[in-house]
Structure formats: structure tokens, C-alpha cells
Chains A and B, each alone.
Chain A
Amino acid sequence: MTKQFRIALAAGVASAALTAGAAFAETELRMAWYNDGIEGEVMQDILDRFNADNPDINVVLDVLPYKAILESLPVQLAAGEGPDLARVTDLGGLSQYYMDLTPYISNPDYWRENFGPFLKWMQPVGAEPQISGFMTQLTVTGPYVNKTLFEQAGVAMPGENATWSDWAAASREVAEKLDIPIPMAWDRSGHRVAGPAISMGAGMFDADGGPALVDDGLKAMATMLYDWHQDGTMAKELWGSVSGSQYLGANEEFANAQTVLYMSGSWQIPQFAEKIGDAFDWWAVPAPCGPAACTGMPGGAALVALKTSEHPEEVGKLMDYLSSEEVLNEFYGRTLFIPGHLGLAKSGVDFQTEDPRAEHALLTFASAVPGISPIAFDLQGYVHNRVMFNALISRLGEAIVGELTLDQAFDRMTQDVEQQIAEKQREN
């Protein structure tokens, strides 16, 4: 055996031994995480303190590309592998793998009181009501506008209760006057479309609570979006340029004042505060209205405990610490996330920003929460919601580029949802 080879092997074996983990005196907990901004750093600070206070527990934060959380983690969990805790966004889809924390946390009532409505989102189908985790971030979808452009163009911003058509017309006017390439941009995401569709009267569910994606309300919204792409209000670059349900954002375009209105959500605040700063007034506005409601979609990422963990006691202890009002106040405050904790939502988080635009946006989105349609809440909690979102965006995208007619797209949406859910429900 060559020397180099032996060294390499030894190093490999050493790494392998390291990963086995169990041989340590302290209990090691692994937390799978992804980052949109600085939340990883903040969480690491908090974990460092926890680790210092609890010498018998060592929590390790594994920061992964979001792609791994979305695509690899489900396969790992299905194979019985996986971390002790994970920050996930597909709350319902993975719920079968969540651990019930109730026996391991010190005060389940505190959890029910403060995380109540969100616990439903993480509830495994057909199980007793359980406590699986908490929201690291509550998000609300809604539009941002470039207020400075409105002022420069001398166009008045549509006021309260304005409809999507009003906003589209106003954005178009501003764009025409100032020669802005994209009047209006939406994230390429079914989740973003769902809120406006509900505003237009979409019901999303049938009488039995089964999925019913395509109805008149959804058709109305989809048709508007389709028309906006044809008349240039929206750029085909976003929705037309990739296939399937891939996400594309217009945050770069918005930050560069290339678009007047950007439909996204509250999670953009920290990034805009950093990137745009005071280059122009980026302004969050309340969700525009339709005949049925003026709603965005709630959403967000949750930190959940996973069944695969061999140390539920320690996980409970960690969750107790992380979910405390004090720690969460710090976490939400530093990350500029809308709190997923009712007590904090009421008393107000001490957001650590002095940017008036960021403060305004946080306020706008936080105060939008009570106005969110119950359908939107149900949809966010529905276990197969991503199937619906994905069918919606991918087929609408195909219609926009002209591969399908709108009617064909609607039929395909229904078919996609049916087929995928049928496959999911096919059990032995």
C-alpha cells in the first residue's frame, strides 16, 4: 500500500468514525438548516449559548443548499435516515416524519397557546394532535412597489381596497412614463398566485375537503395573469423562461429599479434593506383585492423535530430553549422575520433595524396576518398543497409561452393534481 494511499484512507476512515458520532460522551444533535439571509448566523449564536449552558448536549447546525432540504431530505427520511431537527418549508408533505414533542417539552400548553394555528400546518394526517415544532419564520405574500418611481412619474399609488387591475394599470402607467422595462413582476411560484386567486373567489377545496384547484375564481386570476403576459405588463422572462415548477424571483430586477411592482412576500425585507437600502423607497403595500377577499398567502419555514432522532429528551430540551419568548424575540428581531409566535406578535418584536422602509414593510405584513382568508390558512395547512401550487404554476407557465391554451392548461392542472395525489395515496 502506498504511503499516500494509506494516509488518504486513514483520513477517510477518520471522517467516517467522526460521523458515527455516538461514541461521544455528550449527546450530539444534528439540525439541518438552510439560509435565505443571516438566520443561520443568528441561530448559530443562539446554539452556541445553548451548548455552553448544556455541556451534555452538543447541537450541530448543518447548513445545506435549499435544494437539499427540498429534494434530498424527503428521500433520506423515507429511507429512515435523517437529522434530529430540520428547518423545512414543505410542512404538510413531510409531516409523517415529525416527532410528537408533547412528552418531551416542559410546557405543552405554552406551545398550544403561542403556536396554536401553526401546529395544524405540521399535523401528520390521521394522527392524534401533536406538537411537531415551531415556525422560524412566518411569511405573508404581498406586493412591493417602488414608491420613488411612482413619485417620479407623478402617478398616484392606488389606495386601500385597490384591485389587482388597478395596480396593474398604475404600474403600467409608471413604466411607460419612465421607460421601465417590466411594469409588474411576480415570483414564479404557485404559492404566490394562490392568494390573489382566493381573492378572486377561488375556493381551492370541494365540499368534502378534497382538492379542487380549478374553479371560476382561479380561472379569473389565471386569465388576468395570462393577459398581462401577453400585453407586456408582466415579462415572460420570469414565468416563461424555465419549465415545471422551478422558482424564479424578480428580487434582482426590483432592487435594480427594473420593475415597478414586485409580488413576493415578507421574507424579502432583510434582503431589500441590505441591498436597496435608501437607493429608492421600496414600499410594501397591502394585498390587493378581488371580489371575494384581499388576501395574501401565509407560509414560512418551521423548525421541526424528526422521528428518526434517537435523543428525543435532548431534542425536547433544545426546543424548550429555542421556543422561549426571549430567544425567539432575539431570533425574529435580528433576522427581521415576522414572528410565528402569537404572544410576540401581539406584544411586538423588537426588530433591530432603523430602516424606515423595512419597519414599514414589517408592519404592513404583520398587520396583514389577521386579514388572511381562512381558505388561505387551510390551503397552507393542506398536506398536498405543493402538488396544487406546482400544477398551477407549471401549467400556467406552459400556457403563457403558448404550448397549451388556457383551457388545456386548466384541464392539465386538474389531471396533475389528481394523478399525483392518487399515486401518493396508493398504499399496500
Chain B
Amino acid sequence: MTMASTSSSGRPVLGFLTRRREGGQWHWTDVFTYVYLVLGVLLMFGPVVWLVLSSFKTPAGLLEFPPTLLPLGQIEVQVEGYDDPLPLFAVTMEDGTVKELAQIRRIGIMAQMVDPENPGERVSVPINTREPIREMRVATENYIDPLETFNFLRYLQNSVIVTVVATVITLLINSMAAYGLAIYDFKGRNAIMLFVIGTLMIPVTIVLVPTYLVVTQLGMVNTLWAVILPGAATPTGVFLLRQYMLTIPKDLIEAARMDKASEWTIYWRIVLPLSLPAIAVLAIFSVMWRWNDFLWPLVVLTRNEVYTLQIGLNAFQGELDVQWHYVLAMTVVTLIPVVLVFAFLQRFITTGIASSGMK
């Protein structure tokens, strides 16, 4: 597949599919298309929207079944003679009327209630006759509490440093290697290619411990380098860029050599600019990989000042308690940069992958 094919992305290639047959008749594929697209949007976006909505609920709101769409919280009222605000309930009285009462305390299966309008009088009602009265309440504390308890800016800074430095290094050394492998015919090229491809898909998880050993021996534990360097020479990147560079016409390079351009000049002035779409794709993937990295930083970073966001945001996860309200909120926080990157570069990413993820 050559690059030329991709620049045609805007062309109505399969026009025949959408063109109505004589008289605008609907083919079953037309109906199917729109049903599929509508369902697709719901299925792809729905879960994320639900996550964001849920992240603003109070712990009690999260436990509710059936879940409410919007975050609700119980209304609390200030009643004369009581220091703390009291929760408001709708109580079905014995005569069947419903009254709004504030609860003072609950004893066993009875609740002591007070009418906010008439604070002097107390009534005791069975607890299964009362329903909490709720209003929309956005639990911003899900975000604020965890963010306040740790050094958010420090973690953010570390994450940004790791992401940026690692991506720059990856792009540089990967593109150099890809250039070497794509442009030259030299001894050992096939062996190196085989190496690159052979390790292409080894998941980090299975070499976690030996890699840790290497990093320790280099004295990099608890520095950001321990997170930056091990993943820098990604075989995926070399592979991706090399496949793209293969499509660059050789005569361009020969012509430049005639003009006495050095190999380095050819690399950065000719081949790199021509490979920009592939480089952009790699850059985006690198940013995502680094930003989302969790397991590896967890192993090599144990000190507060070098935590990345992913570690810091998870520090509230203890031995025994999954606090969903924090988990959801912090998931949203880590999502924000991804959404931003995507929003700005969306079209670029999608066309870029289509054109380079190809080979």
C-alpha cells in the first residue's frame, strides 16, 4: 500500500454504495448504516459520559440502585436548637399523609424526627416509612479531597517531564534507526530487522523483574530516568517508521547525494519531513503510552517527589477499601489530557494512522 492512496481519503470512492438506485430507493444497507452509526455513538460515548456523571456523585449516591442519571444528594436543613444541619426526609405518617421532617437521630428501627417548621415537637417514626429528600448535588469533593491531600502539581510536572522527554528521545532514536534500516542495504540488516520484529510484541509485564534488575544496576531507581529510558527504544516505533520510510522514492535520496548532501542532512532535511505523518502517529502513541503507564512506574518509583500522576492518583487505594467515588473522579482527571490531545489533533491522528499504520 503506498502513501498516494491515503491522500484520496476525502474522495467518494464507494459512491456506488450511497448513491440511490433510480428514484432514490433505499437499500437495506442505508438503513443499516444509520442504525449502526447511532448505536455506535451511544456505545462508544455512553460509557465515558456515564463515568463522568458518576464521578460527581456522593458515596451514598453511587450505592443507589437503580442509579440516578444526575448526581443527587440528601437535602440538609438547619433546625433551630440543633448545632448541625439535619437530613430531610419525606415521612408517610400513620394517617397516610406525607410530611417533610428532619431526622435528629435513629435508634434501632425507629427514627426521631423533628418538623423544621415547628422545632419544639419531636415525633418518633419507623425508619421504613421515611424516604430521603434529595436535590441535585455535585460532589466536587471527590475531586478536591484527593487532589488536596497530595502534591498534585509536583506529580503533574513529573508526568509531563516523563511524557515529553521520553517522546522526544523515542522519536529521535527511533527515526534514526528506522532511517538506517530503510535507506541502506548493509550487512546485518536482516538480522537487526528480525531482532526488532521478534521483540515487537513482548509485553513489559513478562520482563518486569529482569528489567528492574537492570535499572537497579544502573542506579536509576527513584529517578525519572528509570521511567523514561527503558521504553525509549520501542521496536514498534522503529517498525512503524521504517515501513513508512520504505515508501520514500530512492531517487530523491540519490539526487541529494549528487548534491553532496551528507547522510545526516538527507536524514533530517529530506526523509524526516517526508515521514511526518508516521512520526506524528508515533508521537501520539508515545504520549499515550507514557501518560498511561502504571505498572512500571509503580515498581521503580517509591518516593513522593518522583511520583507520576498515575501513581499519585492511586496512592489512596489502600489494602482493604475500594473507594469508588475517588477512583471514578481520579479516572476522569487522568482522562482530561487525553481528551484534550484528542480534541486538538483528532483529524490529524486518524488520517495519520490510516496512512502509516498500514504496512
Contact = CB atoms under 8 A, between A and B. Distances in A.
A313 interface: no
Contacts of A4: 164
Contacts of B305: 15, 18-19
Interface string B83-113: 0000000000000000000000110110000
A16 B157 CA distance: 14
Contacts of B158: 15
B52 interface: no
Nearest to A35: B318
Interface in A99-148: 147-148
A16 B224 contact: yes
Contact of A151 (B108, B224, B302): B108
A12 B224 contact: yes
Given A72-B298, A80-B216, A63 B304 contact: yes
B63 interface: yes
B55 to A, nearest CB: 17
A34 B302 contact: no
Contact of B314 (A65, A73, A252, A268): A65
B128 interface: yes
Nearest to A5: B168
Interface string B319-354: 111101000000000000000000000000000000
Interface string B193-211: 0000000000000000100
Interface stretch (A48-56, A163-171, A208-216, A273-281): A273-281
Of the listed residues A65, A68, A147, A268, the one surrounded by the most CB atoms of chain B closer than 10 A to its CB is: A65
Contacts of A301: 319
A19 B228 contact: no
Interface in A279-318: 279-281, 301
A301 B320 CA distance: 12
A8 B304 contact: no
Interface in B276-335: 298-299, 302-306, 311, 314-322, 324
Given A11-B161, A32-B302, A66 B319 contact: yes
A151 B109 contact: yes
A147 B108 CA distance: 8
A18 B128 CA distance: 59
Contacts, number: 128
| Chain B interface mostly | helix
Contacts of B128: 152
Nearest to A178: B128
A36 B321 contact: yes
B223 interface: yes
A24 B225 CA distance: 22
B315 A65 contact: yes
B165 interface: yes
A89 B320 CA distance: 12
A333 B332 CA distance: 35
Interface in B47-63: 59, 63
A37 B165 contact: no
B161 A68 contact: no
Given A64-B302, A67-B298, A268-B320, A19 B222 contact: yes
B238 interface: no
A67 B108 contact: no
A51 to B, nearest CB: 15
B216 A81 contact: yes
A8 B290 CA distance: 15
A62 B322 CA distance: 20
A83 interface: yes
Given A60-B303, A62-B304, A279 B106 contact: yes
Interface in A1-46: 4-5, 8-9, 11-12, 15-16, 18-19, 30, 32, 34-37, 41
Contacts of A275: 59
A251 B165 CA distance: 42
B91 to A, nearest CB: 16
Nearest to B305: A18
8 contacts: A35-B315, A35-B318, A36-B320, A64-B315, A66-B317, A76-B299, A249-B321, A252-B324
| Closest 10 pairs between A and B when the two form their complex, measured CB to CB | A36-B318, A16-B223, A66-B319, A65-B314, A79-B216, A256-B63, A72-B299, A19-B222, A63-B315, A65-B317
Given A65-B298, A267-B320, 4 more contacts: A12-B161, A15-B161, A66-B318, A76-B212
Interface of B: 59, 63, 105-106, 108-109, 127-128, 149-150, 157-158, 161, 164-165, 168, 209, 212-213, 216, 221-225, 228, 298-299, 302-306, 311, 314-322, 324
